[in-house]
Structure 1
Amino acid sequence: MRIQSLAGTWEFRQVGTEKWLPASVPGGVHTDLLALGRIPDPFVGDNEKRVQWVAESDWEYRTSFRCTNGLFSEDKVLLVCDGLDTLVTVFLNGDELGHTNNMFRQYQWEVKSFLHVEGANDLLIKFSSPVKYITEKQTIRPLPGVPQAIAGGPHLRKAPYQFGWDWGPQLPPIGIWKDIRLEGFSAARIIDTKIRQDHNNGKVFLEARVTVERWGNMTLKAVICITAPDGGILKKEIAITTRDLVILKVPIPKPKLWWPNGYGAQPLYQVEVSLMRRDASHAEPLDQQRFQVGLRTIELRQQEDQWGRSFVFVVNGVPILAKGSNWIPADSFPTRITDQSLEWLIHSAAETHQNMLRVWGGGFYEDERFYDLCDRYGILVWQEFIFSCSIYPLDIPDFLENIRVEVVENIRRLRHRACLALWCGNNEMEWGWVEWNWKDSEFQVLKAAYDRFFHHTLSAWCHSEDPDHSYWPSSPSSDTPFSDPNGQRQGDSHYWDVWHGRKPFTSYRNQYPRFMSEFGFQALPPLTTIRTYADETDWNMTSYIMEQHQKNANGNSIMVGQLLDTFRLPKDFSSLVYLSMALQAEGIRYGVEHWRRYPNRVAGILYWQLNDCWPVASWSSLDYFGRWKALHYAALRFYAPILLSIEDTPPVQTVYVSSDLLQTWEGTTKWSLEMLDGEVLASGQAHVMVVPQAATQVCKLDFSDRVSDDNIRRLVFIAELWQGDQLISRQTAGFAPIKHLSLSDPAVRIDLHREKGQLIAELTSQSLALWVEVSLTNTDVVFSDNYFSLPPGRTTRISCPLPPGWSLRQAKKEIHVRSIYDSY
């Protein structure tokens, strides 16, 4: 086999213009125009509105190339396009090869007869406007979708979020968004390899079912080479006789199992499957495929119990508490996502003890880098097919066939992954049919089509292509069509009454889902990020630009309203930004801590959302640039394997310890009732023993006789969890709303020193400091902890890498701290 890349420098132009401009492939029209300075940055100010013409126009890309030596010696030469976005006609040397209408598919054409052996070959790819296409389709057949999007997106197999969402801009890209190349083959090629595992009493067999396409009479063999994590190599080969399917099954000696983050290691085996001439052991392979495999079993266990039916992921026989978040595409323009930025996001999730990401159905199927990283970091993937919050024309045979090819390709691409946990049909569409007033008579035929597709057709495709992973029809769902899809007796749940319904954070404590796959609360991004899109003159929650970077209806008003329910009116915009992040962290903490007190009932918690696709006010814990918001630091604490939490129902304070560990954990809880200045009114301690994967109530303390109208605003309850002389966790709870507390200047003191390239900060305070934020001016660092409570009489030690080129003296000059007291 021979491969000739066609990626690199191309030319492009708007259809109807004469001048060709330089372009990068993979890439897109927006990014190419931006690189040339021909459009303003769509992420700044309201420039999104100024570049709408780009997606409303038709474009064309071209390149000229000579075939590499040896390519024409192959029997077949294919033009392979891994991703064309989206409505495309392809021409080679003036001949039309074909059309495309699905950005999620790979397209191939046999082109040997069209290529010039000598001289240049001209490849021209014409792109039609996706906006014009969906607008025309929507005029003929209106389909409901999200109100923030350009209407008509469901008519086209293109990433839904690119047309706009309640956190994302209307910036649908156009272009060659994945690799493009020529592939040459002789005699035969591999068209599918299905990797499966057989686990039985500690023994593991790895099986490769190899399907080939061949032409001619050459005798062939398939060879599998498995490289173990320790470097050991296993090989097996088998002749391919009359059939075009062969099975290679290899026993794995001393198999090393793959585990989700927090439950064990992630050893990975490298698998190489080669198609060879049978009589030429040292020849180059005719074709070859490579896979990264982790040895593990996984099941979605659903069993009847006292609360309904469980929803538990079980890995290697061990029930897993799924802790994580929802993943959206990391950029509005996918070709800008770098290896470094992608790893930073996945690494940051793993650092906060997350073990699952839900790849939401309004984006796209991620590329191999994403799943490689999830394999490495132990992040299970709830993988959705790309349907979200809309009615799709699933009654059109050609549309269904297009989807079938898309589904089969992506299942085959991902089914071997250690990280893959579940195939899910769509996001919120079943809930939509029940709750979103999709009642018009003309939609009923589409409701029946929905039922057929997501409860029967797609399920059958998944089972046929990947019998080793469970299929779930929608999120949320009860698994019974249109029957209580967002209930809490079975299946998964989305809970949005706090944000959209404006209920208090305490309402989370009335929810007992079997698996909470979505809930969230917004915050502004850090001020450093806001500076990238808004001038200081726009730093007001009601300014035009701030609302342009808030895509949820009334989002800023909801944020401010809830903020004033919790905190005092901030003194300036910087304080408002800080308080919005603290508020978000406080709200999500309420929910997670509550659900972790009931691990036998609630088997998964995924907050919305991990990341952003542009700089915006949103529900994310990591902003567009990967900066940690207060919520991400809070996740470091509330997703910890051992969790100390306080259920505060003043004047009663109840202390819990929750454990994800697979062994019994023992320690000591120390508690105290104190004045804000540190005067201790009462204290105590209790031995704690938590059995594996459980939660225990340590104590329930009623302070009715200690709390009065005179002191209620000056009291704090403090709980600490210790193991020996090591402080594991500290929590605080008040008896009055934070905004009513009689906080005084905590006069936080920071002592800095340097240890082995780390900046060590030891913090103390004279009175209670809440949501203590530590930062370094003009640089981004991640501290070992941040946005924490600091009672007087204690020392909190945190660390971060000393920024390159910084001295300790500079760090002392640039370090800053603030708490709630400093915000008003």
Structure 2
Amino acid sequence: MARIRAIDGAAPRVVDGPWQLLATQAGACATPADCDGRDGWIPAAVPGTAALALREAGLWREAQPAPIHDQDIWYRAPISGSGRERLTFEGLATNAEIWIDGDKILATDSMFRPYTVEADLTETSELVLCFRSLAASLARPHKRGRWRPRLATPGSLRNARTTLLGFMPGWSPVIDHVGPFRPVTRQTGAPCEADLRASLDGDVGTLAARLRLPGSEGGKAVLRCGGCETILTEETPGLFVGELTLPGIAPWWPHTHGMPVLHAVEAEIGGQRLLLGRVGFRSLAMTRPFEQGLSLAINGVPVFCRGAIWTPADLVGLSGESKTLRPMLDLAREAGVNMLRVPGITLYEADAFHDLCDEYGILVWQDLMLANFDYPHDDPAFRDNLAAEIAAFIDRTQTSPSLCVICGGSEVWQQASMLGLPRETWSGGFPGETLPGLVADKRSDLIVVPNSPSGGDLPFSVSAGVAHYFGVGAYLRPFEDARRAEVGFASECLAYANVPEPESLRRADLTDPTDPRWAAGVPRDRGADWDFETVRDHYVATLYGADPDRLRREDPERYLALGRAAVAECMEATFAEWRRARSPTMGGLVLSWRDLAPGAGWGVVAHDGLPKSAWYALKRAFRPVRARPVRRGAERAPRPSHQRNRRACRGDPAPRFP
């Protein structure tokens, strides 16, 4: 169901406490009463995480993060009331118990779905949340999967609905995410429901609505949008349905192709006014079969999708507030980014992220929170949990025109195929067979991609479906490979240890690349004898004839300057190849948008929010129109289809990363 922002001006109220937090040994307290009288309670922000509260109290440091998953974390807050209320918990990380006035009313086991409970409140009621030790849960015996990825440990994470952030050494800081990281809200009265579906056919917009408002039986219902209105029909008592047709409505476009126009929606039912947010009218289609490479058209116009893999704007508190997200999205829009991919190793973003992407005209590719592991889709409890989180996500983004792709996860199919498992054991299944139906039930306008990468006979065939392309990059290939590979759509590409600007390095006290602390900020694949600084150094040597090892020791300032220049040149040259007129490539998303820690990480934006040389390169490469000289004869015809198919069957050499 779509979000109802307010009824008669009243929005859901936030349980603002004041909240307190207590960390105990795992299992030390069975009930809230066991925590009473204990020392150590500290103030806590909700929404927020335990790490954020402990940091504010001076008990935890981001630079040297102490573990939290090995403890039980308790939150408590007064919640006075005078009757029955509905409490909604929009994000609890991860194994949580909800207690009201000493009674446990619900236990949860997913970070990725909201939970709603009803409770009778009094003037002295108290709400308590207990987050049981995730480490203890993961240590219990679990059924093993058919493979163990190197990306994250332990293997029992395959059974847990929690973020992989903090479990991927070399990829992200080891920060444990525990607590009510999304709002806790309260409402009275029977629940209301809104189902809104916006579509565009030519220049005619249609808004279909199904609105349920208990207590309004027999009343008049009017739906308003774009300066027009229509009377809704009462299909059953309290359920009002209808369609509003909007000829000549201003459509929603990605900002690189037009204006991302949004239109306010409201309804009046039985004298009550419902604010239903904003919608954008756009059409979305694929311009060629998926097996030839993902290719999107918005409102009938093919769009070259350019952007990056999104990383959380606040890794400690997981803030979903506009004030935290807006600076990162401002930089994205300024750089010409028209697509961001939320990968399966992170978490579903907050409502504010999607509202801002709608406003800014930035398309959103959303992975399910599934990555690399052999997930137990045959377990009914796991499957039901996953279906519930998908439904909840699509409900709250139902009116979002920026959402365009739902993907079944990251590198699950690739991981299995690289281990030599037969295709029938890893393809299809939940993402290939069940996911399309779940999405179509609520948003038939979205494109469903089964996995990233996928689409060819082997998932890592770069010319088919969606690919993770690192030919120019980790494979150390020349720029010409970006053309020869005939990439269809790179849903992940161009990962380098991007050197921050001097000001960012000064702020982090990381000005010397020979300092042992420098290596901690360089991403690497687990167990590999190389890192992504090695990749950058290769292009420094190739492009400028320099000796990176000698420069690092003898002239570190020039070493860093050439490193900045090399990644910028790689970014620009690759996208220039992909955006030429006869290129088969229809999109490229760089790994990644922002660093999760100080240092030379994958991000094109540094940990402190300052752009790097790669950001400036992408800003040039992503301009709406780019003129680039091409020598005569360079625009050769594409390979015959039988040659392309033979390459797809053969695939690239097995990637050197998970």
One fold, TM greater than 0.5? yes
CA distance in 2, matches of 1:363, 1:300: 27
CA distance in 1, matches of 2:156, 2:39: 31
1:83 counterpart = 2:83 = no
Shift of residue 4, structure 1, vs aligned partner? 3.5
Query: Which residue of the partner structure matches residue 476 of structure 1?
Result: 453
Matched ranges for 1:782-801 at <5 A: none
Which of 57, 63, 66 is equivalent to 2:80? 66
Query: Which residue of the partner structure matches residue 470 of structure 2?
Result: 496
> Partner letter of residue 92 of structure 2?
L
Deviations 1:302-332 (A, max 9, x none): 249xxx7353211111111212222122232
1:158 counterpart = 2:158 = no
Shift of residue 533, structure 1, vs aligned partner? 4.1
Shift of residue 593, structure 1, vs aligned partner? 0.9
Stretch of structure 1 that moved more, 632-641 or 149-158:
149-158
1:14 counterpart = 2:23 = yes
Deviations 1:528-575 (A, max 9, x none): 333444466xx234x432222223143233333443333324343333
1:404 counterpart = 2:390 = no
Shift of residue 165, structure 1, vs aligned partner? 5.5
1:526 counterpart = 2:505 = no
Shift of residue 78, structure 1, vs aligned partner? 0.6
Deviations 1:643-702 (A, max 9, x none): 23355xxxxx56999xxxxxxxxxxxxxxxxxxxxxxxxxxxxxxxxxxxxxxxxxxxxx
CA distance in 2, matches of 1:225, 1:204: 13
Shift of residue 179, structure 1, vs aligned partner? 0.8
Instruction: Label 1:644 to 1:169 Cα distance change in 2 as closer, same or farther (>3 A).
Output: same
Instruction: Label 1:324 to 1:547 Cα distance change in 2 as closer, same or farther (>3 A).
Output: same
Contact 1:331 1:612 in 2 (8 A): no
Matched ranges for 1:730-769 at <5 A: none
Query: Which residue of the partner structure matches residue 524 of structure 2?
Result: 552
Contact 1:534 1:546 in 2 (8 A): no
Query: Which residue of the partner structure matches residue 510 of structure 1?
Result: 484
1:260 counterpart = 2:261 = no
1:464 counterpart = 2:441 = yes
Which of 280, 302, 306 is equivalent to 1:294? 280
Between the two proteins, what is the percent identity of the paired residues?
23
Instruction: Label 1:131 to 1:145 Cα distance change in 2 as closer, same or farther (>3 A).
Output: farther
Query: Which residue of the partner structure matches residue 540 of structure 1?
Result: 513
> Partner letter of residue 211 of structure 2?
V
1:37 counterpart = 2:58 = yes
Contact 1:169 1:551 in 2 (8 A): no
> Partner letter of residue 403 of structure 2?
L
The total of aligned residue pairs comes to: 604
Deviations 1:128-157 (A, max 9, x none): 122332233568668623445555322211
Query: Which residue of the partner structure matches residue 224 of structure 1?
Result: 223
Query: Which residue of the partner structure matches residue 377 of structure 1?
Result: 360
Shift of residue 37, structure 1, vs aligned partner? 0.6
Shift of residue 614, structure 1, vs aligned partner? 2.8
CA distance in 2, matches of 1:107, 1:165: 31
Shift of residue 468, structure 1, vs aligned partner? 1.6
> Partner letter of residue 326 of structure 2?
E
Which of 609, 615, 636 is equivalent to 2:592? 609
Question: Helix, strand or coil for the counterpart of 2:358?
Answer: helix
Deviations 1:58-104 (A, max 9, x none): 1101011322xxx64xxx52111111111100100011110111111
> Partner letter of residue 290 of structure 1?
L
CA distance in 1, matches of 2:537, 2:141: 39
Which of 636, 648, 664 is equivalent to 2:619? 636
The gaps in structure 2 that reach 5 residues or longer are: 1-6, 29-37, 636-658
Query: Which residue of the partner structure matches residue 431 of structure 2?
Result: 454
CA distance in 2, matches of 1:92, 1:517: 45
CA distance in 2, matches of 1:239, 1:638: 51
CA distance in 2, matches of 1:27, 1:261: 32
Question: Helix, strand or coil for the counterpart of 1:25?
Answer: coil
Instruction: Label 1:627 to 1:599 Cα distance change in 2 as closer, same or farther (>3 A).
Output: farther
Question: Helix, strand or coil for the counterpart of 2:248?
Answer: coil
Query: Which residue of the partner structure matches residue 193 of structure 1?
Result: 195
CA distance in 2, matches of 1:550, 1:260: 33
Contact 2:292 2:463 in 1 (8 A): yes
> Partner letter of residue 552 of structure 1?
R
Shift of residue 584, structure 1, vs aligned partner? 1.2
Shift of residue 345, structure 1, vs aligned partner? 1.7
> Partner letter of residue 467 of structure 2?
S
Q: What TM-score, normalized by structure 1, do the two folds share?
A: 0.68
CA distance in 1, matches of 2:187, 2:110: 21
Contact 1:219 1:241 in 2 (8 A): no
Which of 108, 113, 116 is equivalent to 2:116? 108
Instruction: Label 1:209 to 1:545 Cα distance change in 2 as closer, same or farther (>3 A).
Output: same
Matched ranges for 1:107-126 at <5 A: 107-112=115-120, 115-116=121-122, 119-126=123-130
Deviations 1:416-469 (A, max 9, x none): 21111111111121122212x264xxxx8x974763211111121111221121
CA distance in 2, matches of 1:476, 1:87: 31
> Partner letter of residue 472 of structure 1?
V
CA distance in 2, matches of 1:600, 1:504: 17
RMSD across aligned C-alpha pairs, in angstroms? 2.9
CA distance in 1, matches of 2:607, 2:634: 35
Deviations 1:758-787 (A, max 9, x none): xxxxxxxxxxxxxxxxxxxxxxxxxxxxxx
Higher strand share: 1
Contact 1:7 1:179 in 2 (8 A): no
Q: What TM-score, normalized by structure 2, do the two folds share?
A: 0.85
Question: Helix, strand or coil for the counterpart of 1:518?
Answer: strand
Shift of residue 599, structure 1, vs aligned partner? 4.6
1:425 counterpart = 2:398 = no
Query: Which residue of the partner structure matches residue 681 of structure 1?
Result: none
Contact 1:644 1:655 in 2 (8 A): no
Instruction: Label 1:294 to 1:94 Cα distance change in 2 as closer, same or farther (>3 A).
Output: same
Question: Helix, strand or coil for the counterpart of 1:162?
Answer: coil
CA distance in 2, matches of 1:137, 1:38: 32
Instruction: Label 1:19 to 1:346 Cα distance change in 2 as closer, same or farther (>3 A).
Output: closer
The gaps in structure 1 that reach 5 residues or longer are: 648-652, 658-824
Question: Helix, strand or coil for the counterpart of 2:18?
Answer: strand
> Partner letter of residue 513 of structure 2?
N
CA distance in 2, matches of 1:328, 1:387: 16
Question: Helix, strand or coil for the counterpart of 1:369?
Answer: helix
CA distance in 1, matches of 2:558, 2:22: 46
Question: Helix, strand or coil for the counterpart of 1:455?
Answer: helix
CA distance in 2, matches of 1:139, 1:310: 36
Deviations 1:257-295 (A, max 9, x none): 111122111211011245x4x3xx2xx45xx45232111
Question: Helix, strand or coil for the counterpart of 2:603?
Answer: coil
Question: RCO (CA 8 Å, sep 6+): is it higher in 1 or 2?
Answer: 2
Instruction: Label 1:258 to 1:126 Cα distance change in 2 as closer, same or farther (>3 A).
Output: same
Query: Which residue of the partner structure matches residue 187 of structure 2?
Result: 183
Query: Which residue of the partner structure matches residue 750 of structure 1?
Result: none
Instruction: Label 1:599 to 1:524 Cα distance change in 2 as closer, same or farther (>3 A).
Output: same
Contact 1:87 1:130 in 2 (8 A): yes
